[in-house]
Structure 1
């Protein structure tokens, strides 16, 4: 047994790490390079990681399919619900209402983490942890909306992941599910009037020349997931697993420490360069929270199950009780 373990720890790996979004210079691209460098350093070069940036290997669903099949080894991604709708825990609208709330829920020992790990295990993936970005909003051109009534007639792109399109529709917009790689063309050609559920970085940096407004609806807490194929994970010994995990933890800890400041920096940058940033009033946000929770959460319960939603309801903050942290 000792000999086998020693041989296993000498095994060489060439791992593929990718994401559907984020070029080389983006925060996501920087995080992938950090994970790569730490793994290679801590393994003494025995474990090599090849990084592919946004859509270089395919679109969002295609890449997730390849991860599940084991053709891609690692991803930092918005996971797809095509294999198990319970993955939608990551996309439950108004799950958290402010930064302090989100940090506690998505931290390594938080209640959201405890819900998610077993779900990924069932579809053959090792859930390593979250990569939080901040609170999503709705970015549009021409006009904006901070209420159900004002949103009528505005077509906005939604990630094709349940329950995000349903959330956007309930808020009053017309949701058009579109893969990330097709968003810019869709905005240019008028297929949609805007984008939704991303933090302001993506809407300003990638579509700032066609989008005029960003409404901080905060209907979702934008958090990618660090995932690894079980086909690789199950074949690793404890030493190699710890190299992957300890490297990932450093990436995650760094992102938790910097995400809020990074989001605020891009909010300021976007405003300085002509994008109008709108924060709904407390009354407007509460109206959206109550409507979405009343209409979308029951749909989520049908897919995710009562057991999961009971945990969500027991832990989710209520507007004003206490007041959520500023988001």
Structure 2
């Protein structure tokens, strides 16, 4: 049964319950959620695994209640509640509303292939080194990324593989800087829309499609509405495993270790499975009749040049020269 947003947030706020005097005996009830993914999705199962490992390794002292997409609210609302501590843990696309520097996670054409992505987004990767102190500044504990694969542009009626062809196509963008700016630079009309409203927006013609997601989401949720998926690969789709910083800080070393080791297991498994999982859904989408288009190297190179030229200076203005210097030093080099 779905909880109303008001009662759900009130419920979540009451869920952190420490007991007993000795740290090793403390019991917790934590709330873990995400803005997307039902219980049968890869993301939903990852949340279940994270929760179950924590409960098992703490002998039941740390209980984790999992809420799936839409059950506690929308994307921005949930992130607000995570920062406030009413929601304790999330696997999410972090919002840039508290600190624009989080946008480094969404810089377009940052990596151009799977090998580069795994190296950059891995637990020891250079992107992790950039993001960790930023999350600390807004009061969050960052465990690391939950990679899905390379995003694309899914549309109905017609598709585009160039700036010129994209003219007049309206596509939904996540309302997170610089993703709308990226879609706009590629030639599309970007319409920032929260995840919960995407299906209706496509169905009613508010937009002609979706963008920046791996094909799983467009196939699983919108396949009756969409005809094409263009593998533009302009972003590497990666959620983040996060925890409210105050909740993290009040825990002792043993309990932190339990939660962090479980998060590492979830992330390591996803890094092993991500490409195969993405390939599986590409095949499923094609079998169902969705046309899967990979731009030619020349078409992709034109998008890379246009987007980096237009969006990276905007990113520098928002994120700072220091961050963008690191990006330029480490970003994939077009071949």
For residues 121 and 9 of structure 1, what CA distance do their matches in structure 2 show? Answer: 25
Q: Distance in 2 between matches of 1:120 and 1:21?
A: 21
> What does 1:30-41 correspond to in 2, within 5 Å?
30-41=45-56
Q: State yes or no: 1:302 paired with 2:317.
A: yes
- 1:325 matched residue in structure 2: none
Paired residue total: 316
Q: Does 1:241 align with 2:261?
A: no
State the match for 2:93 in structure 1: 78
Counterpart-to-counterpart distance in 2, 1:308 and 1:257: 28
Could you say what the CA RMSD is over the residues aligned between the two structures, in angstroms?
0.9
Correspondences of 1:146-295 after superposition (within 5 Å): 146-295=161-310
In structure 1, C-alpha distance between the alignment counterparts of 2:252 and 2:243, rounded to whole Å: 15
Secondary structure in 1 matching 2:63: strand
User: 2:26, 2:147 → 1: CA distance?
Assistant: 32
Gaps of 5+ in 1: 321-327
Deviations 1:226-276 (Å, cap 9, x if unpaired)? 000012101000000000000000000000000000000000000001000
Cα drift, residue 55 of structure 1: 1.4
Give runs of ≥4 in structure 1 deviating > 3 Å: none
Match in the other structure for 2:121? 106
Question: Shift in Å at residue 317 of structure 1?
Answer: 1.3
Distance 2:72 2:124 in 1: 33
* C-alpha displacement of 1:6: 8.4
In 2, Cα distance between equivalents of 1:230 and 1:162? 23
Q: Tell me, what secondary structure is at the counterpart of 2:22?
A: helix
- Inter-partner Cα distance in structure 2 for 1:19 and 1:90: 17
Give the TM-score, by structure 1 length.
0.96
Structure 2 residues without counterparts, runs of 5 or longer = 1-19
Measure the CA separation in 2 of the matches of 1:189 and 1:110: 42
TM-score by length of 2: 0.94
Task: Give per-residue Cα distances to partners, 1:101-137, cap 9 Å, x unaligned.
Answer: 0000011111010000000000000001100000000
